[in-house]
Amino acid sequence: MDEEVTTESRKETEVAPALIAVHPTGHHIAVAVGPELRIFNLLNNSAVSLHDDSISGDNHFHKDNIRAIRFGAKGKLFVSAGDDKTLKIWSAESWHCILTVSSEKRVTAVAISNDGLYVCFADKFGLVWVVDLNQTSIDKKPTPLLSHYCSIITSLEFSPDNRFIISADRDFKIRVTNFPKNPLNGAHEIQSFCLGHTEFVSCLAFVPAQESPHSLLLSGSGDSTVRLWDISSGALLDTCEVAVKAGLLESNDNTEEHGHAVTDLCTTLDGLLVAVAIQSLRGIVLLSYNVSAQTLSVAKVVSIAGDTFVPTCLANSPPTRELWMVTGVSSLPGYDYPSLARVLVISGIDADQEPVVLGDDKIPGGVKLLETLQGTAAVDDNAFSVAAEAVKAAMCNLLIKKQYPFENREYRKKTRNDRKLKE
Amino acid at residue number 281: L
Instruction: Kindly state the helix (H) or strand (E) to which residue 7 belongs, with its residue range.
Output: helix 2-13
**For residue range 121-130, what is the model confidence (pLDDT) as tens digits?**
999 889 999 9
Between 317 and 352, whose confidence is greater?
317
Residue 211 has pLDDT above 90, yes or no: no
**For residue range 257-316, what is the model confidence (pLDDT) as tens digits?**
557 999 999 998 777 899 999 998 999 999 999 988 999 999 999 999 876 899 999 999
**For residue range 215-245, what is the model confidence (pLDDT) as tens digits?**
799 999 999 999 999 999 999 999 999 999 8
Q: What is the pTM assigned to this prediction?
A: 0.89
Task: With beta carbons less than 8 A apart as the criterion, state whether 256 and 304 touch.
Answer: no
DSSP string over 107-147: EEEEEE-TTSSEEEEEETTSEEEEEETT--SSS---EEEEE
Confidence of residue 412 (pLDDT cuts 50, 70, 90): low
Task: With beta carbons less than 8 A apart as the criterion, state whether 301 and 251 touch.
Answer: no
Exposed, middle or buried: residue 412 (CB in 10 Å: 0-12, 13-18, 19+)? exposed
What residues pair up with 288 in beta bridges, in sequence order?
273, 297
Give the C-alpha separation, 354 to 346, whole Å: 10
Architecture of domain 2-422: 7 Propeller (2.130)
Between 280 and 41, whose confidence is greater?
41
Whole-number CA gyration radius for the chain: 21
